[in-house]
Amino acid sequence: MQETNHLTLISSITYVFYKILPFSLIFFSWILMYRWRQRNQRGPKKWPIIGATIELLRNYNRMHDWLADYLSESKTISVSLPFTTYTYIADPVNVEHILKVNFSNYPKGELYRSYMDVLLGDGIFNADGEMWKKQRKTASFEFASKNLRDFSTIVFREYATKLSSILCQASIANESIDMQDLFMRMTLDSICKVGFGVEIGTLSPELPDNTFAHAFDTANIIVTLRFVDPLWRIKRFLRVGSEALLEKCIKVVDEFTYDVIRKRKSEIVEAGGNGTRNKGQMKNDILSRFIELGEDPESDFSDDKSLRDVVLNFVIAGRDTTATTLSWFVYMIMTHPHVSAKIYSELKAFEERQAKEEKVTLTSYEADDINSFNKRISQFASLLNYDSLARLPYLHACITETLRLYPAVPQDPKGILEDDVLPDGTKVKTGGLVTYVPYSMGRMVYNWGEDAKSFKPERWFEDGVLRNVSPFKFTAFQAGPRICLGKDSAYLQMKMTLAILCRFFTFTLVPNHPVHYRMMTILSMAHGLKLHVSRCV
């Protein structure tokens, strides 16, 4: 009986095997043919249905370098994922096509907006059409204002001096510091003061816990993950995993943001007296301008939600991008001491020349005498303004070279309204995304020559004068109609801060501290920038 059952089982298995064998052979033959047709394809190879998802996820934490490897072989590549295809470009001609020549066909788009809406809403980075135009017009007017520029100079100098005091104390205590965290605090305080007219004090000497910054950064990481996570909508619906954490972070972010708005509105009312507005007494910050626009019931900024979106977009513009660039700059000069020495020499010469022209007697100081050291820093800082900083061309070149290799926004996707053909012949389809990749573009030999991957500030000079490069090649500040409005302001703050830091301090990386980026919309360092700081004469 047992032998009969055994034979029956073997017979059943054999029958099933022979039934499925033809289908298995057909399926695997189809897979082989599918892959064979891709043998000459540019970019990562695809699998049926899932596309290049497996390879992308395997390389997600080094995605910018993964793309750079492929783009070094081909100026345009396609990455297929379930439901969409990403086209990545590194050729300046293609970049000019999507950012300028056929600009109207490449908005942010609904797909991008669906990923970023929870964080950026209808703010300038996430908006299209009339909403984008209105915000850009208002912001453009503010950034062109001499009053805002002069006020920014004062604020940037103030916070750079505060930062130097913290570094001085760290050097005395021989404590390591996270430079990226300090830069993030400094730039957050700055954008809140300049952009929103409020003081939040995250750079105070006790370095209070910054729950907003932690929540904002975590939210940024999670919305970036949505670009490659096909299950994010399901997780959001079920409120599980990363989407559950995102919901908690957004609550913290919103609490901070709405508090800023309420505080600014309250100050505006108080400035008017007796509950009325006196526009002549209004501050010249960006938020106040949008609040003023919101007084019109037909305005797109008449409710706090729209103002919330304005605030968060300017936070990511004024805090994250600048702090990230400052962090990579410090890392570059630590790893390239000859560059650091040239910067120091330029700053010493600048100090002497500027003091002579302004008839300022430079006080003597010793690095070990804290009082005289801080006094000299303040004296040096007083020599720094919008015009005098233009006399530091090598410092400017070093910042620009940092941005070439470590652009604050490493890749920037655009939607596709209608089918199009890029200048190199690549066909792109409606509903997909075209992404230009500043991180890769800065490392391409076909863009910058054989030394493209080298940190070489001298490349920005021609006959001893700083040279201009096409914004479609050097894309750190985007180009075309969406070119960054805050470029001059960013350079002003970075040069102000770095002039003080590079003149009076030297930095040493904490042994074995890992330095690499983390995947989010901004190219920040995954583990911060831990270093030791020393005072110098």
Binding site as annotated, residues for heme: 484
Can you give the length of the chain in residues? 537
- Please give the DSSP secondary-structure letter assigned to residue 390: G
Within 8 A by CB and 6+ apart from 399, the residues are: 325, 329, 491, 494, 495, 498
* DSSP code string of 92-111: HHHHHIIIIITGGG--SHHH
- Between CA 513 and CA 521, with CA 517 as vertex, the angle to 5 degrees is 150
* DSSP code string of 256-324: HHHHHHHHHHHHHHHHHSTT---GGG----HHHHHHHHTTSTTSTTSSHHHHHHHHHHHHIIIIIHHHH
Cα distances from 473 to residues 87, 322, 424, 439, 477, in angstroms, run: 18, 20, 16, 11, 11
**In terms of Cα–Cα distance, which of 401, 389, 429, 432 is closest to 414?**
432
For residue 125, give the 3-state DSSP assignment. coil
Cβ atoms 514, 527 nearer than 8 A: yes
Residues 107, 85: Cα–Cα separation, whole Å: 16
Encoded amino acid at 22, one letter: P
Q: Which two tokens stand for residue 414?
A: 């655009």
Question: Which residue ranges are tagged as binding site?
Answer: 484
- The helix or strand, by DSSP H or E, that contains position 119, with its residue range, turns out to be helix 109-120
- The residues with which 508 forms a beta bridge, in sequence order, are 532
- The residues with which 525 forms a beta bridge, in sequence order, are 517
**In terms of Cα–Cα distance, which of 337, 430, 537, 420 is closest to 111?**
430
For residue 421, give the 3-state DSSP assignment. strand
- Between CA 367 and CA 373, with CA 372 as vertex, the angle to 5 degrees is 40
**In terms of Cα–Cα distance, which of 528, 338, 434 is closest to 76?**
434
Q: Which residues of 438-473 are buried (b: 16+ CB within 10 A; e: fewer)?
A: bbbbbbbeebbeeebeebbbebbeeeeeeeeeebbb
Residues 325, 328: Cα–Cα separation, whole Å: 5
Encoded amino acid at 254, one letter: D
**In terms of Cα–Cα distance, which of 313, 288, 316, 319 is closest to 203?**
319
**In terms of Cα–Cα distance, which of 378, 437, 374 is closest to 405?**
437
